[in-house]
Every structure is written in structure tokens, then in C-alpha cells.
Amino acid sequence: MRTIVIIPGDGIGPEITDATVEMLKSLNLPIDFEYHTMGANALEATGELIPQETIDAIAKYEIALKGPVTTPIGGGFRSVNVTLRRHFDLFANIRPIRGFGKVPRRYDKVDLIIFRENTEDLYAGIEEQISEDEAHSIKVITAKGSRRIAKAAFEYALAHNKEKVTVVTKANIMKLTDGLFLESARKVAIQYPGIALEEILVDHMAMELVLDPSKYGIILTENLYGDILSDLGAGLIGGLGLAPGANMGKDVAVFEAVHGSAPDIAGKDLANPTALFLSAAMLLDHMKYYKEAQAITTCCNLVLSQPSNFTRDLGGKLGTKEYTKIFIKRLREVLNA
């Protein structure tokens, strides 16, 4: 029996997490669930944004499914997500961007996966107040961090018979930091002679994705650029409600939706759980439950092929609970086919 740490989070987090656990339980796999807190709710209950018992549980079981969390604004609080990633050295943030069913989108063929370095760059949070009128944020890029995310991207390309990895930087301006990331990617690419390395600047990449995302498959980039491009990518497929994510380290893996906690719709049965469903599919794939992982992805496509199944964010009328009920029924049909 394998145990998954469940972190419901804040805002709509508990609703979509409950829906996802219900969906996972319907698969009848030999997995158990252990609940822990993190974020604003945890701060209110325990005085800590990330309680030590939550850290201990993730370290023990090495796998977690996390709902969106809220970091209080002000008061010197650092991002919960950034802190968690740095604590467990979750260096690879993997974000698939794929269109599903008949969800309204500008392009039919969108199938991207972003490999975003997850622990360095400006998100390291190294800042200093120079004066009342000046503040500095220090960008940190290391060869080690750059090489390992590049290797992750190329290993994925190799395993999935992809012919190209596109590395995205701003190395023409930030010649030392982005230059180091780019040079590290080039060195890794030499080890994979059958896979081409395409180099592109981040501003040009943003334009290219809007013009024709079908030209790209695997995007390798730094922390900040990856965060921005993955949100742009979500806009190409119908919104953040369809965007899953994984945070991978050497031993620990944490899976979460890309979107935030949306406190304005919390508790109203309005949230779309699809992104967390897809994150759970990535989790099952990581656990080698390949059949069930693929079934969830297939089910997303089938359910969203009927506009009557759309949630409010997609222009439909279904709430979280009814959508989950329909999804689980269809998932069983897929698995029994």
C-alpha cells in the first residue's frame, strides 16, 4: 500500500481536492491518503504556513497531491510554493499544455510540455533595499541547476521519440545568467545527438506561441520565463482550469494544478477540478499506474467533448460536484471498455 500526502490548500483547494480524491478512490488502487495542511488555513490553525508535520509527511512518503494555497500578502511571508520547492529541491516544474475535447480555443493542435527550472532565477527571492527609492532583486543561475533541468527535458524527448527541444532565454541581454543557462543546455544537448536543440528568445517565444503553437513540443526554460509561458499556454487551451503541473526532485514529487486558490468562488460549487484531475494523472504515471493515468487523460477528452459537461469557467453550467460525478462515471466506462 502506497500513501499519498493530500494537501487541500485554501480557497477552492478543498473542493477540487475532495473531488480528485473521490476520483482516485474510484480506481480501486492500492493507495492510501494522509491529509495535512499548508497555506493560509494552516497559518490560522497552527501559526505556520508550512507546519513541520506536513514537511515530515512529504519527506516520509515522497509523494504529494496539493491543492492551490494562499500566501498572505505582506508581513514578510515568502511564497509557500517557492519555499516548498526549495526545501525539497524540486528542481523540475513540468507543465503540459494540451487542448481537450470541444473546449473553445484558438488552435486545434496544442500539445506542449514546459520544463521549467524550479529553484533558481529571480524566484530565489534574494532582494535588498538599497535606499527608499531603490531595490534590487538578484538573479541566480547555476550550471548545476541548468544542466539537470536540461537533462530532464532531453530524457523526456528521448523517451517519447521527440526530435526537438526548444530552449528559451534572454541571453542576448543577460549574457552571464541566461548565457550560462543556454550554454549548459548546449552541453547537455551534445549527449543526445538524435535530438535537435532550438534556441529562441523569450519575447519571440511568446509571439510564436500565439501565432502557431503547433511548431513547438518541448520547451526548456528558466523559472520566471516558465511561469509566464505556462500561463500563456493555458490561455491557448481554454484557461488555467485545464493546466496541470508536477514538481519533481531526486526523491520527492509534488503534483498540483497551475491555477491559484480563487477565494472569490470558494465554497460555491463553481470550481473546475480538471487541472487537478490531470495533475493526479501525472502522479499515477509517476507511480507507474500507466493504464489509470492514461484513462484519466482520455476521460478528460471524452467528457469535455460535450459542451453540456462544461463548468462555469469554460462557459458551461455544471458545478464541481456534478462535473465530478459525470467524470467518474465516464472514467469507469473507459477502464471497463
> What's the CA dihedral at 255, 192, 158, 251 to 10 degrees?
-30
The pLDDT score that the predictor gives to residue 75 is 58
Q: What is the pLDDT of residue 1?
A: 87
Cβ neighbors of 134 (< 8 A, separation 6 or more) are none
Predicted local distance difference test score (pLDDT) of residue 73: 67
DSSP character for 226? Answer: H
Torsion of CA 221, 222, 224, 228, to 10 degrees: 10
- pLDDT reported for residue 47: 85
Return the domain boundaries, the chain: 1-94+243-337, 105-237
CATH class of 1-94+243-337: alpha beta
Q: Of 3.40.718.10, 3.40.120.10, 1.10.150.120, 3.90.1150.10, which CATH number belongs to 105-237?
A: 3.40.718.10
Residues annotated catalytic, as ranges: 123, 170, 203, 227
**pLDDT at residue 74 in the model:** 58
pTM value is 0.93
Give the span between the Cα atoms of 297 and 278, in whole angstroms: 7
pLDDT tens string for the chain (337 positions)?
A: 899 999 999 999 999 999 999 999 999 999 999 999 998 888 888 888 899 999 999 999 999 999 999 877 655 566 888 889 989 999 999 999 999 999 998 888 899 999 999 999 998 888 899 999 999 999 999 999 999 999 999 999 999 999 999 999 999 999 999 999 999 999 999 999 999 999 999 999 999 999 999 999 999 999 999 999 999 999 999 999 999 999 999 999 999 999 999 999 999 999 999 999 999 999 999 999 999 999 999 999 999 999 999 999 999 999 999 999 999 999 999 998 7
